[in-house]
Structures are given as structure tokens and as C-alpha cells.
Chain A
Amino acid sequence: MPQIVVEDLVKAYRIAERQPGLWGALRGLARRRHRTVRALDGVSFSIEAGELVGYIGPNGAGKSTTVKTLAGIIVPDGGRCEVRGRVPWKQRLAHVAELGVVFGQRTQLWWDLPVIESFELLRDIYRVPEARYAAARDELIEALELGALLDVPVRQLSLGQRMRCDLAAALLHAPPILFLDEPTIGLDAVSKLAVRDFVRRLCRERGVTVLLTTHDMDDIEALCTRVMVIGAGKILSDGPLAELRARVTRERWLTVDLDDGVGWIDEPEAPVIRRDGNRVCLAFDPQRLPPAELIRRVTSRHAIRDLFVENPPIELIIARLYAAQAQRASGTDADTTAGADGGEDAERASGAGSTGEPGAPP
């Protein structure tokens, strides 16, 4: 019995349009134009208890609308949604009592209060019995190393410290479900690792169901076995990360550090997609050209200092997924399993990750 069930969710917004310039502003006094945005266009998925699911998509794709609907804040226009047997927006008080939410960009703690006092106020708001509160609080303080921070007013905390306190605050009432929205944004490397480690253990050891909304692909790769991608109100992909990759492209990349002063590799089945001094990056389809064969060819013709094979970065995968979906939406036929050729266009369009010049024949 899944813990979270969503079926054909539909939600549309009306947005007033602003006209530019002084004359447009004066005209805006008389009449306003509106356009309709379909934030959710038939979204369906289900999540079992204890899963750690990543939820990604471009801005405006419908991520926050989905989360708000699941939280019970928003009432959708159509579709079905049940969380632990309840309809979130119909039984808000009971529903949110079992929900923890962390927003990366704003804290729910009281700005001028010492952290521990915020915790106590939350205990009263959530009506947590003293004994249960004390146990949860002590565990969280230990797990997140908050001991030294308890008496510090929230406004004096660093971002990393605040995030750890926000995590604890969201879990004081022991909710079985946790929504995380950009939890590692702006954090330094050490704090990011700490937060990820905590969330992973939370899910594995406590069986807390976690829905992670983020733009940080490292978070996704580190934490999520399952990823849902939303674009323009529709779920584009829902499944294991490897499957997502495979769906978009079989492409893999071979990066070589040349040592022969030429700075160029000419392989017919493996075009250069990036070049930075002596470092050359080739894209190839491992099903047509096995990696071992490609390496053999390159090393036999060039002197090299180092090489490695990798997957294209997740950002590129996602960008191609959106591009394909946009093309589909605009009516053209798109080959979504783009080979090495299609890769350049999408990469240039998305501007993802290129540090050197894009490949060009000599």
C-alpha cells in the first residue's frame, strides 16, 4: 500500500501580464491581460514508505505546485491525491501534523531566539508530549552535532549551521514523511556532506519517506535511487537514475590528456566535443564502438598522459530531456535517444558544463 498516491493531478494558474514602458503602464491602469499557465498537466506517481525520491525539473515546471498540493496547502483543479490515507487539503490539520518540511532558502526558526527555544515553541505548536520530544530532540542534537548551537540566536548561525537546525526542527515531531526543498543550497562542502549523510541515514535507519526537490545534481546522485523529472506540468521520467540516463542517451565520454603537442584527435566514430589545451573529450556510443576498442585506437595513435571514461553530466541529460519534450510539445518529431551528433546542438543550447571551445574540425 503506497504511502503517497497521486493520480492525474491538474492545476492551472491565471497570471496577469505586465505591459512594458510608461505608456504600457498607463494602459495597465484601465485593463489587464491574463494568460493561463498549466502548472500540473496530469501528474501521476506513487511513493512507498521509506523511499528516498528525487524530484527535479526546470523552474516553473510544476515542482513546487506538486509539493504544495501534497502538503495540503493548495487544492488542485482535478485528479486524486492521498497521503497515508488522507486527502491532504481536506484534512489539513491532521495531515500536516505528520509532515516535516525544510525549505533551503528560508528558515522556519524564530530569528531572534536561541535555537533550543525555537525547538520548544515547535514542540508546543505540534503538541508533542514532553517525553517523546526530549528523546527526539536529544537524538537529533547528537546526530546533527547541534550541541554548541543550542543557545545561539538563529540570526547568528552560519548557513550550514542553520540548515542542520532546520532539519532537526522539522523532525522534532517525528513525522513519517519529510519534504526537502533545496536543502544544500549555498552550503559549503563539509555541510553538504553532513546533510546528505544525515538524510541517507534517516531514510535507511528510520524508514522516513523523503521527497527531495533540488537543482543540485550531486545531491541526486548521492542520495536518490529513484528520480522523477517534471517538465511543463508533465512527468517526463520516473525511475532509477541509471534508467534515466539510458533513456536519454547511451552516450559516454572519453577524456584524454594528450602529450604529443598536437592537441587533436581524429576518430571518425568519436567526434571531439570539447577541447581545452591538451585535454580532448570525445563522445561515443558504446554499443557501436566498445570503450576498450576506442581506447586502443587512441593510445595507438597518440602519446597520452592520462585518460578516463565517464557518463555525461546529469545536467546535460536533463537538458536533453527537456529539449526533447519541448520539441515534442511544439509538434516536431525528435529523436530522443540522441547520438553523438545531436549531443553538440543540445549542449550548445544548454550551455552545460563546457569549459573549453566546442569541437571544430581543424
Chain B
Amino acid sequence: MNGVRLYLRYAGVSIRSQLQYRASLIMQSVGVFLVTGVEVLAVWALFSRFGQVRGWTLPETALFYGMISIAWALTDALGRGLEVFGAMVKDGELDRLLLRPRGTVLQLLGHELTIRRVGRLAQGCLVLAYALSSPTIAWSAPKVLLVPVAIAGAICTFLGLLVLQATSAFWTTEALEVWNAFTYGGITMGQYPLPIYRSWFRGLFLYVIPLGGVIYLPGVAILGRPDPLGTPALVQWLAPLAGPAFLALSLVAWRVGLRHYRSTGS
């Protein structure tokens, strides 16, 4: 059974496991929806007081907000295994993974598909729907496709961050929180248009961890509005590719980490 089919098997198993605790699951999904919903209230409050942020309106910001929210909701659902990897290294579960004739990353992705994250997915979809319903967007077939492509690019970038976080567990299981700055900080950063940030901060999320690039640049193309950063249209449309590239690099780091773990033991 090849990797994809095995992953689907894992996913089915995980979902059925969680459905056993139906009441708790529903409660948690609603809870997540509320918590993320409250975040939207905060953004709305800011816009209602200030009207716009550096020339960007609420519907325009909502496009970035919705896309990154959806991307993170899906990554968060997929990436639970990577998040708890630190604990696995500590208690020896990693050894069990190495005793199976399968790749470690595949097994980690298959560890759990967390359903309750769907609460944030719902929030993201609602915000995105609001953004996409704006009359100022001139739709075309390629633009319609660009939305899921940009989201996919962001998912790849987020997954890359989670892989890097899990990789650092090979060296220290205590300092994994370092990556939260980029993951959760990155979510907050990506919710707003990139040009509002100072240039050195923008650079981090354009050239190093392309989270800003994979959401903002296609977003500008979709909105069809002038880009204060002056990026050429071709770059805007190709930006999502930075996601898979980043993920590929992080998987290289993962292999290095795994080799280190196996040479130094536990």
C-alpha cells in the first residue's frame, strides 16, 4: 500500500477514534469557533474605529485574513503528529516509528487528523466568503483558481514550519516554543496586508519564511489593486510556489535531524 493510500487509512482511523467522544468533540469545535470568532470581532472593532489601515479596507484585509485562517486551520488539523513529536522523542514513541518499514514523516502526519480544528476552518471560510463577495473584485477563471492555490502554498509553508519545529526536537525537547513565534506570529502577521509592516519584518516573511509572500502577493493579484511593494504580476501569480520549496528544504533538515538522533542515541 503506497504512501497516499496509507495516509487515507490513517485519517479514517483517526476520525473514527475522535467520533467516539462525540459530545466532547462538538463542544470543542464550537469552542474553537468562538475563540477564533472573537478574534474577528477584535479586527472588526479596529476597522470600525480607524476606518482603514494604510489605505487597505476591511473587505480587502478580509481576503488575507480568510485565506491564512483556512490555511492554518487545515495545517493544524494535519500537523498534530508533528506538534507532539517532542513528547514522542521523550517517551520513546519515536523508536516505535523507526521500527516500522515506513517513512517517519508519513507516520507522523498519520498520527492524527484533528477534527475540532474545523471550528477555525468555519471561521476562515466565513471571513473569506465575506471578502470574495466584495463587488470590487473582477473575477476571471485563473483568479478563481488562484485562491485555493494560494491557500495550498500557505499550507505548505506552515507544514514546513511544523517540520522544522519537530526537527529541532532531535536536539532539544524544551525549546520547541521558538517556532511558535513564526507559526502563530506568522498567522497574525498574515492576517493584515504585508505593506503595513516595517521593511525588515516584511523581508523575513517574504524571503526567509515565505508566509507573507504566499498569501499577500496572490491576494493582491486577486484584488486587482496596485501593489505598494511594486511586485511584477508574474511574481504575484507564481508566489505560492515558494510554499512547496520551503517545505522541501525543511524536509532536508528533518533528515539531518533524524540522522543525528540515530547517531547520538537517546
Contact = CB atoms under 8 A, between A and B. Distances in A.
Given A73-B262, A89-B262, A121 B17 contact: no
A75 B264 CA distance: 8
Contact of A96 (B20, B98, B265): B98
A94 B92 CA distance: 22
Most chain B beta-carbon neighbours within 10 Å: one of A14, A65, A101, A112 = A112
Contact of B1 (A97, A106, A127): A127
Interface residues of A, number: 32
A117 B20 CA distance: 15
Contacts of B92: 106
B204 interface: no
B101 interface: yes
Nearest to B10: A121
A106 to B, nearest CB: 7
A11 interface: yes
Interface residues of B, number: 22
B265 A127 contact: no
B263 interface: yes
B1 A74 contact: no
B99 interface: yes
Contact of B262 (A13, A74, A96, A117): A74
Interface string B78-96: 0000000000000010011
Contacts of A68: 95, 265
Contacts of B264: 13-14
Instruction: Decide if the interface of chain B is mainly helix, strand, loop or mixed.
Output: helix
A73 B101 contact: no
Interface in B84-122: 92, 95-96, 98-102
A118 B105 CA distance: 20
Contact of A110 (B6, B13, B100, B102): B13
Given A74-B262, A96-B101, A127-B1, A113 B96 contact: no
Contacts of A94: 101
Contacts of B16: 113
A3 interface: no
A131 interface: no
22 contacts: A13-B264, A71-B95, A71-B99, A73-B98, A74-B262, A74-B263, A74-B265, A93-B101, A94-B101, A96-B101, A101-B99, A108-B96, A112-B17, A112-B20, A113-B17, A117-B13, A121-B9, A121-B10, A124-B6, A125-B6, A125-B101, A127-B1
Interface of A: 11, 13-14, 39, 65, 68, 71-75, 89, 92-94, 96-97, 99, 101, 103, 106, 108, 110-113, 117, 121, 124-127
Interface of B: 1, 5-6, 9-10, 13, 16-17, 20, 92, 95-96, 98-102, 262-266
Given A117-B13, A121-B9, 13 more contacts: A39-B265, A71-B95, A71-B99, A89-B262, A92-B98, A106-B92, A110-B13, A111-B17, A121-B10, A121-B13, A124-B1, A124-B6, A127-B101
